[in-house]
Chains A and B, each alone.
Chain A
Amino acid sequence: MKPAAFDYDRPNDLAAATSQIAQGDGMVKAMAGGQSLGAMLNLRLAQPQGVVDLRSIQELSSATETAEAVTLGACVTHARIEDRRVPDATRGLMPKVAADIAYRAIRNRGTIGGSLVHADPAADWVSTLSLLNATAIIGGPNGRREMRMEEFLLGAFETALGMDEILIAVRIEKFSANARWGYWKFCRKTGEFAEAIGGVLIDPARKICRAVIGATNGKPYVIHDARGIADQFDAHRAMQAVEAAGMGEDAYERQMHFVALQRAAAAIHTT
């Protein structure tokens, strides 16, 4: 299939992009890497009047580092994270996650911001950034605002981003030196979206013991106090969490998500 006709623009500055999207009244879509939107356009599942290509806006592709955090522009590609061409705040977690997203051809174009805004529950950044409780930096006609991931993500394919707003960047706080993590996903074959995702993070210096259950029917389920899961894996507690994540109905789903969490917890000892 071929897309329905749409106007295309590729502005150089954020203000122009923001104003085009604001004026589009919901009928103009922002496009970063286009790895999801492109397919949706071709299938005519998305039929916007206009597409604003964000890739020429320098700020969106930049990566900055402070003593406390790394900020990645929304258009930073998976490949740049995988190849460590941008600073890593996560002691290898984000490069590892990036390396296992889809295929290299997709990683060359797909972006962290595009994936997050698309908010496909089975996508890696949605779960990973939830585990990190990263901060979304959002731009709109009224300036900038920031939101933590737990507020930003609302559900499957749904975020708190306004119709007139653009995701500018995500800020990830740096792990302490003794932070440990585990991330495990089950894909039926290489490059496919995950059937189930599990992630755990223990950072005692920052008082974090967190876990995430991803690839659910909604937004990732974050276990803020993951003692008994992330550190000492307790099957009963883990199964309760899987059920709380809404994955308890179907035996297969329950099992997959349980195993993903279990294996993520097991992997923490190797990081």
Chain B
Amino acid sequence: MKSSSTQGVGARLARKEDDRYLRGQGEFVGDIHRPGMLEVAFARSPVAHARIVSIEKPAGAEDRVFTMEDLRGVQPIRAISGLPGFKPSDLWPLAKDKVRHVGEPVAMCVAATRAEAEDLAAQVFVDYEELPAVVDMVQARTAPSALVHEHWGDNVFLETLYDDDLSAAKASAPIQIRRHIRTARQSMAPMEGRGVLCEWNTRLGQLEMYSSAQMPHINRAGLSECLGLDQGAIRVIAPDVGGGFGYKGILLSEEICLGWLARNLHKPVRWLEDRREQLVASTNCREHDYDITVYAERDGKLIGIDCDATVDSGAYSLYPFSACLEAAQVGSILPGPYKMDHYRCHTWSACTNKPPILPYRGVARTGVCFALELMLDAVAREANIEPFEVRLRNLVQPHEMPFDNITKKHFDSGDYPESVRQAISAINLPAWREKQKAGLPDGRRIGIGLSVYCEQGAHGTSVYAGWGIPMVPGHEQCFARLSPDGVFEVRIGAQSHGQSLETTLAQVANEILGVDPQNVRVIHGDTGLTPYSTGTWGSRCMVMSGGAVATASKEIAVRVKKIAGKIMEVAEQDLVLEHGAVRVAGTDRSMTLAEVAHIWYRKPQLLPADVDPAGLEVTAGYKTLRDSGTFSYACHALVIALDTALGHSEILDYVIVEDGGTLVNPMVVDGQIYGGTAQGIGTALYEEMPYDSEGQPLASTLADYMLPGPTEVPEPRIVHMSTPSPYTEFGQKGIGEGGAIAPPAAIINAINDALAPLGAELTTSPASPRRVLAAIEAARLRQAA
């Protein structure tokens, strides 16, 4: 069935969606207006931890200000985990009795304009009885200053243990290195913040919600539970969405509030998150603490790892991913693609008076990659060998594929050592080692760093059933229709907000049906129009939605041939599909897809009586051959120049050798890698959401929360390897997150490489000038003493 490969799987096709984006014709929640629409602002807690004694609404505005007491019948968000010992939290959409982080919504204020709604919010008086704030995640569990949820008895959502006996390693391993590694709390920063517009449709008895969301069907499920409406009474539409990254994979308190408000006010209402809310009030990510020991042979061969890992989960468990996905994942993914005989990992999901966390692009992988890859460099320094040698000595070898690692993660395919060899060659390690001896003419030191990661994508039922969270992915569906005019319409339940699915899924349809991608209409992000899906997360869409579109396209191909065969009076098996037409093999007799469809819909009198009545519309489902996920991977290698007087580093060269299996559109993959890498550079060097001892956020504007800009992000040189996954439709693998995983480890390894002659080592991200200078000073004091 393969036809014009210039537009199918593997083609560098220009993005279809860019036409509207580049002309400023995208439609985001902030662009949508409804007649009579009111705007909402929230009065939010200014304190991290307090009992609410009373809430006073502004006089004369009692009917425009709403508290939890007004939202009668509304249920709290309860995102459970099935893992044993998990303690659930009740997140009331408006705080009830207690506030547990700065920015928690307390009252909803509605007015004709946002400014007036903010005026109201400023006049809501809340009497808070302040409690000590729980700020540090390790102290939260070892020496709590207070209890975030009193009835728990501690501040731990969940504790997990992957146990093993490391006594032999402790007794005899020639290399034993222990480090305390930390990653800063971050605030995800998509270009478009969140936004919600709700309208109650009286004719349908249905809540229509526009929300800047990644997982509209999941939002609908959660809304249904909290608002007490059946799912059909809710339609969630995610229009154009300006970046998700996990930040929009959530059921929002604000969505519940506005849903209730639209229904009770009988007026359209909208809330647009502003940058300050995004930074301080909503959700954070990435804050990990590792007490990690690595045991290795003299030659750098790993014997085992022992790790205590804490993740700061914030104050509440969020729907659907829960407060524990991240920490529990640390336990299962820390060893990654490396082989070892012993592994012990104890994890805690700590509860603190900070905003709850969400799984940001790469989820726990960015943290574990940072921890493990820093340790492997420390092993290399101890063993006095090149860091890449440690990787080559310990990575899974291609002949061992498929490979089950020590935590039973099933690696589907790949040649990990080859990615390291190619990266080392592309960065030209020997030349830089030579230059490193003298340093740069301006006095800066050179550092070379690398890191390897793996990214589990499209993991399915068997993986998520184990987590026991409110959402478990099953089969992925696609509704497909060949329209009377020959346009092929595919509807998927996921949502595309930068993933380029409007283009890549059209390429998949082209691959199967031969239909011109410009004649493929991809409809997504609307529960009213699309089949159920858990949505866009976990690097799953190209595998799952792609597989579903392929399956539906194959079924349509069968039906087109059946109909065309009847019209052309030839056997179906003699027909081939190519270039938007169905042709009798070996002849020049053909009909276009449009002609076949036109007869089916508009001139059924031309069809014989015994034609298959199934028609040209189908819903088809797809699941991978094995649902343990695809494993894409890469080696990032880079060179930095470090100014040791300022602690400032500049990236001089950056190489990425990645293997995403079969690439449906290599240009789109490059784009994903560039964007992810930019975020990874942010994690490595700039982004940090600090809190003071009272639980007050200290970066409340983008002047304080530093994001990398165009001048801070180099254009990495990308080399593609392609080892198809044996379990997916075309051999494709999920690749959406990887760019954000490797940079912190690679960059700080490079900084440590530059610092090594000074005896200094950095184990905390981001590598701010202050931290780098402190590490240099600490080394100086150590050597003096």
Contacts and interface: CB of A to CB of B under 8 A. Distances in A.
Given A43-B276, A190-B712, A252 B706 contact: no
Interface in A4-20: 4-5
Nearest to A3: B115
A43 B686 contact: no
A226 B774 CA distance: 30
Interface string B697-711: 000010100101101
Contact of B769 (A3, A39, A188, A193): A188
A44 B646 contact: no
B274 interface: yes
Contact of A252 (B114, B119, B708, B770): B770
A121 to B, nearest CB: 14
Given A188-B768, A189-B709, 8 more contacts: A43-B276, A189-B711, A189-B712, A190-B712, A252-B770, A255-B646, A255-B773, A256-B769
Interface in B274-303: 274, 276
A44 B276 CA distance: 12
A192 B768 CA distance: 14
Contact of A4 (B115, B769, B773, B774): B115
3 closest A-B pairs by beta carbon, nearest first, are: A2-B115, A190-B711, A252-B770
A2 B114 contact: yes
A255 B777 CA distance: 11
B381 interface: no
B489 interface: no
Given A189-B706, A189-B709, A192-B703, A259 B645 contact: yes
B35 to A, nearest CB: 21
Among A4, A44, A188, A190, residue most surrounded by chain B Cβ atoms (within 10 Å): A188
Interface in A46-104: none
16 contacts: A1-B118, A2-B113, A2-B118, A3-B115, A4-B115, A39-B701, A44-B122, A186-B769, A188-B648, A188-B706, A189-B711, A190-B709, A192-B706, A251-B774, A255-B646, A259-B645
Interface residues of A, number: 21
A256 B646 CA distance: 6
A38 interface: no
Interface string B99-134: 000000000000001110011001000000000000
A162 interface: no
A191 interface: yes
A186 B646 contact: yes
A5 B773 CA distance: 46
A195 B686 CA distance: 14
B119 A4 contact: yes
Contacts of B709: 189-191
A1 B276 contact: yes
Interface in A241-259: 251-252, 255-256, 259
Interface string B13-25: 0000000000000
Contact of A5 (B119, B686, B701, B706): B119
B684 to A, nearest CB: 13
A189 B703 CA distance: 11
Nearest to B114: A2
Contacts of A188: 648, 686, 706, 768-769
A202 B769 CA distance: 31
Contacts of A5: 115, 119
Contacts of A251: 773-774, 777
Interface residues of chain A: helix, strand, loop or mixed (majority): loop
A258 B610 CA distance: 90
Contacts of B645: 255, 259
A43 B774 contact: no
B15 to A, nearest CB: 27
A44 B686 CA distance: 27
B470 to A, nearest CB: 33
A219 B114 CA distance: 37
Nearest to B117: A2
A189 B710 CA distance: 10
A39 B701 CA distance: 10
A75 B711 CA distance: 29
B42 to A, nearest CB: 11
A167 B362 CA distance: 52
A86 B676 CA distance: 43
Contacts of A256: 646, 769
Contact of A189 (B701, B708, B770): B708
B513 to A, nearest CB: 46
A251 to B, nearest CB: 6
Interface in A126-185: none
A190 B276 CA distance: 22
Contacts of B122: 4, 44
A250 to B, nearest CB: 9
Interface in B62-120: 113-115, 118-119
B194 to A, nearest CB: 15
Nearest to A250: B770
Interface string A220-261: 000000000000000000000000000000011001100100
A39 B703 CA distance: 11
A195 B274 CA distance: 27
A255 B770 CA distance: 10
B770 to A, nearest CB: 5
A44 B645 CA distance: 39
Contacts of B768: 188
A252 B115 contact: no
Nearest to B712: A189
Contacts of B769: 186, 188, 195, 252, 256
B118 A252 contact: no
Nearest to A1: B274
A259 to B, nearest CB: 5
Interface in B610-666: 645-646, 648
Contacts of A43: 276, 701
A41 to B, nearest CB: 11
A189 B777 contact: no
A100 to B, nearest CB: 12
A193 to B, nearest CB: 7
Nearest to A193: B703
A251 B274 CA distance: 36
A191 B770 CA distance: 19
A252 B773 contact: yes
A215 B589 CA distance: 79
B714 to A, nearest CB: 13
A3 B703 CA distance: 19
Interface string A18-48: 0000000000000000000001000110000
A5 B122 CA distance: 13
B766 to A, nearest CB: 10
A5 B768 CA distance: 39
A2 to B, nearest CB: 4
Nearest to A263: B645
A237 B777 CA distance: 22
Among B276, B646, B701, B711, residue most surrounded by chain A Cβ atoms (within 10 Å): B646
Interface string B744-785: 000000000000000000000000111001100100000000
A251 B778 CA distance: 12
Given A1-B274, A186-B646, A188-B686, A252 B774 contact: yes
Contact of B686 (A3, A189, A193, A255): A189
Contacts of A1: 118, 274, 276
A186 B648 contact: yes
Contacts of B113: 2
Contacts of B774: 251-252
B708 A44 contact: no
Nearest to B710: A190
Contacts of A3: 115
B776 to A, nearest CB: 10
A149 to B, nearest CB: 25
A167 B728 CA distance: 69
A256 B115 CA distance: 41
A189 B276 CA distance: 21
Among B648, B706, B708, residue most surrounded by chain A Cβ atoms (within 10 Å): B648
